[in-house]
Chain A
Amino acid sequence: MSVSSSVLNYDLKNAISKNRLLGLWRLMHGFQWKYIIATVSIGFAAVAKTCTYLLLRYFVDNAFTEGGTSINLPLIALGFILLAGAEGGFTFLSGRFAAQTAEGVTRRLRNYLFDHIQHLSFTYHSQTDTGELIQRSTSDVDALRRFYADQAIGAGRIFLLFVVNFVALLSLNVTLGLVSVIIVPLMFYVSILFFRRISKAYESYQEQEATLSTTLQENLTGVRVVKAFARQQFEMDKFERDNFEKFNRGKKLLTMHSLFWPISDTLCGFQMVGGFLLASIMAVNGQITVGTYLAYVGLVVWIIFPIRGLGRMIVQMSTGMVSYNRVMEIIRQEREPLDEGDYTPAAGTLRGDLEFQNVSFAYEDNPTQKVLDDITFACQRGQVVALLGSTGSGKTSLVNLLPRFYDYTAGSLLLDGVELRRYTRRFLRSQIGIVEQEPFLFSRTIRENITYGVGREVSEEEIVAAAQAAAVHDVILTFPQAYNTLVGEKGVTLSGGQKQRVAIARTILKNPRILILDDSTSSVDTETEGEIRQALQSLMQDRTTFVIAHRIQSIMNADLILVMDDGRIVQRGRHEDLLAQDGIYRQIFNIQTRIEDELEKEIASVSE
């Protein structure tokens, strides 16, 4: 069962093809022989089954005619068992190899997609709907699995069963053989026609199921609204309507089934009776033996009825092909090369001095719209650079250049005097710590969230020390299972401030040279605000820090404040310098002093 790593790590980009069947074939790379064996085995199983009936013919012809004592009964009985064993053995073999192929191919596909998606660029992710990506990675992959496991092999089975038995029938008697398959083309056509319609009816049934689920979910999440307006009856009626519609669609689906099966039963049955009639008359006339008749009656069943299922297989296979396209659309995307770059400084020698020289940036799909325009400034290790500006002014885009989430399109950006593009993305990201406004936490334990991405073994003491430094240790201890508490739906829900502090603890452990902080404390109450500020202060020491600022208080001590507007730096300097200038900065500052004045006035007005 061991699969060689060359098969496991096969680059699925090779499976991209305009011809979907060819693509599906290539997707099986490394398993193709197994799949062929699986198919051939089915053929052998079919042959064994056919032989059973031929053996029966031999037995009847000899046992029931005069002088038939010459046959060896135990040997014939053993023959039946051996043939069943062969049929079973080959069937099992086929199932086994088909399962290995289907499961192996999907496993590789899942792994590849997972890795591929996490290596796709920021641009791709910001343009793609999350739900759509998940849908393709799960449902469509499963549709492909079914294609390999059931549909393709199932269609092959029916086809081979038909061919082998048909040849056997012809060998019994050519006329009889030909007469017995008159219905087959019609049956095939009818079943395709029918299953096309039924798969549509089934889809519409499933759609209504989804509608019903939405209604239910909205009712459950909006339970307070329902109760507040006393709309229970209204909700019951609404659900009833959707529920009834589903009932109706189910009824339609079933009506189709209840028509198809008896109709096809009758068609197949009449074909069989017709065959029996011809064969029995031939037997009476002595054209065929009784044994041949018996074999014929047994074989003909395996040729007519399976054809009904072929239609279903073929219709279902077409959905597998649609899924192939949807999955390949993801695989076709280019990965972000993490290791592209020729310069890696010796471990621990990075200083973190940065110099922006006329840096500009525009997104690929809109190259004329400059998101960053002619940015020039420099900062050294240990310094704090604050970015101030409205949403869309370019603050976030500027810091996104540092870990090379995006590459600047003009100018030069030097880290320790070396062009940033020469560093690999992997290295840069290991040296940069980001603390977002409301960081994304994973549905894992608090401990795992703190050590997430640290990339080395971390001792319990270190974790606790980091949590303490981030002022979140005490909070964690109040959770039911302390550090082992799950975050999210199945565990505790953290407030924005708590999430931020977990992210700070994580960053402390990561110990990056460059720090990017999104400073927003709006969601935090006053007492924790002070603690966070302190935690941040200690974190910022001896690192190059970028602060995306929303308020002046937090950046008064910054070494360099950049006021940004529309992708440009409109003001720069230290707090005192900027206050002395006429501009946006002073305006903001004035407003804040004005607020304090107003507040005092208001309080004075009531406290006479």
Chain B
Amino acid sequence: MSVNNYFEEEEFSAQFNGKTLRRILGLTAPHWKWVAGFLISILIVSGLDAVFTYISKLVIDQGILAADRARIYELLGMYAGLLVVQALFVLCFIYLVGILGERIRYDLRQKMFNHLQNLSLSYFSRTPVGWIMSRVTSDSDRVADLVTWGILDSTWAVMNILTSMIFMFVINWKLALIVLIILPILLVIAVEFRKRILVQFRNVRKFNSKITGAYNENITGVRVVKALGREGENMREFGGLTQEMYRSGYRAAWLSALFLPTVQLVSAFAVGAVIWYGGLQAQLGGISAGGIHAFVSYITFMMWPIQDLARVYAEIQHAIASAERMFSLIDTVPEVADRENAADPGSIYGDIEFDHVSFWYEDESQPVLKDFSLKVKRGETIALVGPTGGGKTTTVNLLARFYEPRSGAIRIGGQDYTSFSLHSIQSRIGIVLQTPHLFSGTIRENLRYGRLDSTDAEIEEAARLVGAHDFIMKYPKGYDEPVGESGNLLSVGQKQLISLARAVLARPEIFIMDEATSSVDTLTEALIQRGMQAIMQKCTSFVVAHRLSTIKRADRILVIEDGHISEMGSHNELLRLRGKYYQLYTRQFREQMTQTLDVFQSSPAQEALPAD
């Protein structure tokens, strides 16, 4: 179950990992000018904040108390001027830090995405899609935020506290010492609060996704719920969930509500002390009215930088956990990759040989293919049949070099195919999957996926060849009709036809088809058959076959069971054997004929049994 644990969302890194932190900070290295830019801007902005308070003090002491109007004009004129300067730097830092954040987000996502393209199929079969998605989306967000806004906020906070302290020391060092004592207390309180609030929010998120899950299940399964009359118990279960949600939501809000008042109260002690001591000093001339004003302001507004520091500090741990997961993705080494000096053979239309190939996915003790040997002449059509899990799909996955043999070799045209580059093999293979996969976009874009430089005329020709043209033209926008997310606006049969036409366009030298088990209507079925034939004429073909006509048309049929070939030969030969193939075939025959001849179907019985 370690695999499952690995995919559990861990919010915290187990320990504070300096190496990861350095690597995170390293992300900003290429953009150091931007970082320098926003750091300088924020230093100026926060410095000016302290200066403003000091000017205010001067207005009181040198202007009002001295009854010096000119000085007041001068000081406030300076104040106004500096306001404009500060505004300009505010503009700079928001722009710089924000866009740098977007930029780093962009870089991280692109880097992960590009890396994912090179990872092997094995990675995707053991890693849930949702897990990868969170890495690319939310983790990159969190890390990008840390290296931009996180750095900015903490710099601002430190600078703000620092300059305020300096001015306070300048005004009256004894009073400043009082504030200096309060400061660490405030920080500790703030950090502790933040940590607890974060934990509560984590709980809220957790329950929130559970609640969404409960809705999802109850709504999609509403018919079963009704049929079984389980409304009451479901409601009780859900009530427990919302009760938990209420608790953690309330607690998070409660803590947040307590946080600022606490910080304020503690700083009020500092204000009280300053007033008390300052009041005593006032008589001695140790501090002016302006000085008191400055101290009260500095202390009152100090809670913001402290809050920010605490927030960033609490978030660092989360960001490090995010970064660790993200880096683990980026650092994954593809299992199937080009060897050194991998070459492009120019063509892979040649004899294919599986030479004592063995393969297992995770566990060596559970091999999927065992000592599998097979020789295929170029141009041959091979049908693979047999029970699910017998090794049919693995065989074609190995051929397409989605995986490589653990032992033994696969040779194309006499050469071990690992000496070829992956691209040289995969760009010459056409694959049609059992569940056709289309991409959002138009029909034309999906077809062009087969060959990017194909002309519209070629696309149409391919569609005609597989008989997809007619249904495409029935759409209002024809080839420019959008297919919806994952092609969901099309029927399964239509998706199959389009993926066939897509394979036709690729002009493959090896054609691999995993036939769909789900039934499509008779007409579409006939079209699919025609399309397959069109492709198979010009290449070496491997078909994981379910349809009788496909099986019968193959040059050779392989019955694959338990990772090896248990029967091999032509249709007639195998039927005569009265073995596995015979059983399989008769069952398939009954099933398919029942379907074909179903009186209830719209185009029923008059159609005779397949001629061949």
Contacts and interface: CB of A to CB of B under 8 A. Distances in A.
B211 to A, nearest CB: 7
Interface stretch (B182-190, B366-374, B406-414, B594-602): B594-602
A489 B80 CA distance: 62
A230 B426 contact: yes
A164 interface: no
20 contacts: A59-B279, A59-B292, A63-B282, A63-B283, A63-B292, A80-B268, A91-B257, A103-B246, A114-B215, A117-B222, A118-B226, A220-B132, A224-B437, A254-B102, A258-B92, A266-B83, A280-B76, A338-B231, A430-B229, A591-B605
A73 B288 CA distance: 16
A244 B107 CA distance: 10
B264 A88 contact: yes
B313 interface: no
Interface string B162-185: 000000000000000000000000
A85 B262 CA distance: 9
Contacts of A469: none
Interface stretch (B24-32, B93-101, B356-364, B553-561): B93-101
Contacts of A283: 64
Dominant secondary structure of chain B at its interface with chain A: helix
Nearest to B106: A247
A442 B221 contact: yes
Contact of B220 (A102, A130, A230, A277): A130
B114 interface: yes
A426 interface: yes
Contact of B276 (A74, A216, A219, A232): A74
Contacts of B587: 526
B226 A89 contact: no
B228 A429 contact: yes
A414 to B, nearest CB: 22
A98 B245 CA distance: 16
Interface string B564-588: 0000000110011000001000110
Interface stretch (B14-22, B427-435, B455-463, B469-477): B427-435
B331 interface: no
Interface in A511-542: 522, 525-526
Interface in A310-369: 336, 338
B611 interface: no
Contact of A263 (B87, B231, B268): B87
Contacts of A232: 117-118
Interface in A571-608: 584, 587-588, 591-592, 594-596, 598-599, 602-603, 606-607
B433 A224 contact: yes
A607 B124 CA distance: 46
Contact of B238 (A68, A111, A254, A270): A111
Nearest to B605: A591
Given A84-B265, A85-B265, A254-B99, A280 B594 contact: no
Given A114-B235, A266-B87, A281 B69 contact: yes
A108 to B, nearest CB: 8
Contact of B72 (A284, A432, A455, A602): A284
Q: Which of B129, B214, B215, B217 has the most CB of A within 10 A?
A: B215
Interface in A55-82: 56, 59-60, 63-64, 68-69, 71, 73-74, 76-78, 80-81
Contacts of B265: 81, 84-85, 88
A103 B486 contact: no
In the A-B complex, list the 4 residue pairs whose CB atoms are closest, starting with the nearest: A95-B257, A453-B228, A88-B261, A84-B268
A92 B258 contact: yes
A293 B212 contact: no
B427 A229 contact: yes
Contacts of A203: none
B219 A266 contact: no
Interface stretch (B247-255, B377-385, B529-537): B247-255
A85 B272 CA distance: 12
Contacts of A83: 268
Given A92-B261, A103-B246, A405 B226 contact: yes
Contacts of A92: 257-258, 261
A106 B116 CA distance: 40
Contact of B437 (A87, A89, A222, A298): A222
Nearest to A605: B572
A262 B87 CA distance: 4
A537 B195 CA distance: 61
Given A258-B95, A259-B91, A403 B262 contact: no
A598 B611 CA distance: 12
B121 A227 contact: yes
A102 B91 CA distance: 36
A95 B256 contact: yes
A25 to B, nearest CB: 21
A191 B242 CA distance: 37
B214 A426 contact: no
Interface stretch (A132-140, A174-182, A457-465): A132-140
Contacts of B490: none
A111 B214 CA distance: 11
A149 B257 CA distance: 11
Q: Which of A217, A229, A254, A442 has the most CB of B within 10 A?
A: A229
A78 B253 CA distance: 30
Contacts of A490: 4
Given A98-B257, A103-B253, A270-B83, 13 more contacts: A78-B272, A95-B253, A96-B254, A114-B238, A117-B218, A117-B222, A220-B124, A222-B486, A235-B117, A258-B92, A258-B94, A393-B600, A440-B223
A209 B109 CA distance: 12
Contacts of A73: 275-276, 279-280
Given A293-B64, A442-B221, A526-B587, A115 B231 contact: yes
A505 B231 CA distance: 20
A455 B485 contact: no
Q: Which of B116, B250, B261, B452 has the most CB of A within 10 A?
A: B261
B27 to A, nearest CB: 16
Contacts of B76: 273, 276-277, 280
